Amino acid sequence: MSSTAVLGCMFGDEAKAKIVDVLANNSDFVVRFQGGSNAGHTIVSNGKKIVLHSVPSGILYDKTVCILGSGVVVDPFALNEEITQLEKQGINVSNRFFIDPRAHIVLPIHQELDSKSENDKRNRTKIGTTKKGIGPTYADKSARFGIRFSDLYNIDYLKERLTNLYFSHHLEISKEEIDKLVESLSEISKKFEPFKMQVPYFINEQYEKGADIIFEGAQGTLLDIDYGTFPFVTSSHTVSGSITIGCGISPKKIDRIVGVFKSYFSRVGEGPFPTELFDEIGNTIREQGHEFGSTTGRPRRCGWFDAIAAKYSAMINGVDEIALTLLDVLSGLKTIKICTAYIIDGKRTLEFPYDTNSLNNCVPEYIELPGWNEDITKIKKYDDLPKNAKNYIESIEELMDKKVSIVSVGPDRNQTIFRS
């Protein structure tokens, strides 16, 4: 076994970065394959917190090489700033950070289009995006007007492509403005030149040699462009199938799939959320879990664990094992609920619906389990967890028919319980 996928299986922010960071201790490579700087990935090591947006979560280990595959969209300005901040903290990326030249570039125009559509009063379905330009960049990629990382190294071609891109959006841009944009891109692209890597050749060769590779997901299954709660989704595929497309490796080379699930559900932005809590318990979870977006600072909506949505995610991704995170946040609740069925228009179903209307109308059916009061943040062994916490974990295992192999009881690396 030499490759492991670590994937968010809810609406994002499942603590993927923490799990990647913990597993990357023994890894040679951490590869991102989709998304962009819409991601906010938090790592806490010895009380020190680092939030990553585009750089993979292996960067804290000197020997781990971090890679962005072709499926990622790269905002060169934001990435440059992120790298500068990392360097200021003594984290060096040279010779250990690479980007596939095929990766598409997020330009200022993409962010403008993203914000414009989100702020436009005529828009009846605001997504609540991160306004990082992700949707417009993937749209331009599909429409074949997008700019790739490799295009930054051919100035004449870049100018031609940029002119074309503005034309495709029916926008005027002067020659002077194009020159200015190209100049600012050129400055960064000089710095980024050593990052260029033919990721498919490299990663396949490393896999064959037996290297330890982690594929790091961003966002979560329920935000997938097809399998999520469309249109309240991100614009990339967030599921395991996306790994193969997003870095040029066969599905046969994904050996282990770890699904990251929070011990409850959270969502930032608009869209259906069947188990959302609007009461004091929801507020308590938000406060105890510090549930405020890592990228935008927005308060996250919180709700009970939804086993229907979770099973759907596990099925689509082919999850082998579960990393259950933020269990400590539930400490102190008298009882804890898990959704085990949906009632939609009077009919009971165990299937996650494909349409927003059904999801908005569904009434969750719950089981209720006893909570625990103990502080669990210092517990290192599974057996030392309170009886009711173990009962909660084992109920999730039973409902999902999957093993919980990792339990996270706090943000720090060392607040992690591995089960044999």
Q: Are 355 and 336 in contact (CB under 8 A)?
A: no
> Whole-angstrom Cα distance, residue 59 to residue 402?
30
Active-site residue 41, yes or no?
Answer: yes
> Which of 271, 280, 275, 244 lies closest to 262 in space, CA to CA?
275
Minimum CB separation of residue 183 from Mg ion in Å reads 33
Based on the residue annotation, tell me whether 170 is a catalytic residue of this protein: no
Binding status of residue 247 toward ligand IMO by CB under 6 A = no
Residues recorded for the chain: 420
Question: Which one of 35, 36, 40, 76 is in contact with ligand GDP (CB under 6 A)?
Answer: 40
The smaller minimum CB distance to ligand IMO, of residues 270 and 397, is found at: 270
Which residue of 40, 71, 146, 303 would you call a contact of Mg ion, by CB under 5 A?
40
Binding track over 195-234 against ligand GDP, x by CB under 6 A: ----------------------------------------
Within 77-136, the residues that bind ligand IMO by CB under 6 A are: 127-130, 132, 134-135
**Residue 405 token pair:** 């192999």
Catalytic residue among 21, 28, 41, 224: 41
Going through 165-268 in order, the beta strands assigned E by DSSP cover: 213-216, 256-262, 265-267
Give the DSSP letter of residue 384.
G
Distance CA 301, CA 291 (A): 8
Residue 328 binds ligand GDP (CB under 6 A): yes
Location of structure tokens 């905002």: 75
Measured distance CA(244)–CA(237) in Å, rounded: 11
Q: What are phi and psi of 13, to 5 degrees?
A: 60, 35
3-state SS assignment for residue 177 = helix
Site string for Mg ion, 245-284 (x = CB under 5 A): ----------------------------------------
Beta carbon nearer to ligand IMO, 50 or 379: 50
Interaction site with ligand GDP (CB under 6 A): 8, 12-18, 40-42, 44, 289-290, 294, 325-326, 328-329, 408-411
Interaction site with ligand IMO (CB under 6 A): 8, 12-13, 38-41, 127-130, 132, 134-135, 218-220, 223, 234-235, 268-269, 294
